[in-house]
Structure 1
């Protein structure tokens, strides 16, 4: 129920209470007042619907007095008794409700002056918003551009990142502690030992053997003069790639790795 319906319902309830006071009732229950109010609202609704129906039946759009009188007759109300009832003595007169002042509308803060409509836009359309919403938004504070502060912030972010990663590894992996009894204080990342630690330095990691020249790849037990046919990615297939000399930017040229050779192990 919206606010308008609530105000109308309240006015009908006050009218029913005034009629009960005229008849002689001093006190009434809330349920009784609500029932009488519902009956009065239903009667007025039916009278309005009947009046509208008679108006449309006559081919009109505005309700006339004759339409209302015909609707009252259909509801069983004696029309001749209405003037006498309206002029009765000792009736309760309800004063009109006081119109409350509408709350003031707060002005929205505006930045800049709104631009008027161009000639091709009608005036009844909404005006343009503030210019900063579709042109630019000025920043209140200037960004920090001092070298010392930027370096301090970068160092702080790096230190926090390393600390967070260290704590994550310490919580998810194996940890050691400076104290034998309590491992929760000052956790350290456990050092993983290998049976043959020297292999990590001898095995290649950054080079792909498939991209090397076939003449430079020799197996164990083969002589240095032996060779194998071209493998995928060899010099025969590299001719289809882009010539590095055509690239002017040195940062975009492919990386030139040193030739990798395997020597015979006696």
Structure 2
């Protein structure tokens, strides 16, 4: 039995159960329901075959109501009692089952236009695959080399880093806010007042001069002016002076001009 026959059999079984409930049965055995379902299916099958026979006898392809009535009369069913039975008061209304949506067929993403078969390849053979399957395709992005984008990215990274560090210090240390009542909005790092703030600028903190040796302390030697010599008698090259402000002034050469 295929899936369609099973679904039809299940619908007939539900109809038989509804009719038994209308009559007054509260429960029924499975074998009894199956027997009644088989009887109902046999009657409907015979009515359908007889209706088709009357249709073909009249030279038609579609079944009409008169064909069904003639088949019911042949089965010995009183057709005049059908309207009264259809309009009974305590009838059970069966909701038609919802139609299942067919599964969506996944479409294969096509990249590029497929190449047609050459003349020596028959058309019934499979088509060529997408071009990206046999053509080199880069799988990585080229690095950004534009100056503007790099500067914007560096500025954004620096801003995020400073913001994260500020929030970390604000959460772990003492904070103050520009609002008096709420400290959660716009937290600021609390300023620690110092009684003598000018001492921080006078006292060195990077290195301790007492612990340094005499050879480690840098000394300043004034440059020797142009034209002078060292104490040992050696001359000094003026080009060796790095500071241009300490070099002697170069006077322009005097030239005589004739007035014509």
TM-score by length of 2: 0.45
* Larger Rg, first or second structure (1 or 2): 2
Q: Compare relative contact order (CA 8 Å, sep 6+) and give the higher one, 1 or 2.
A: 1
TM-score by length of 1: 0.44
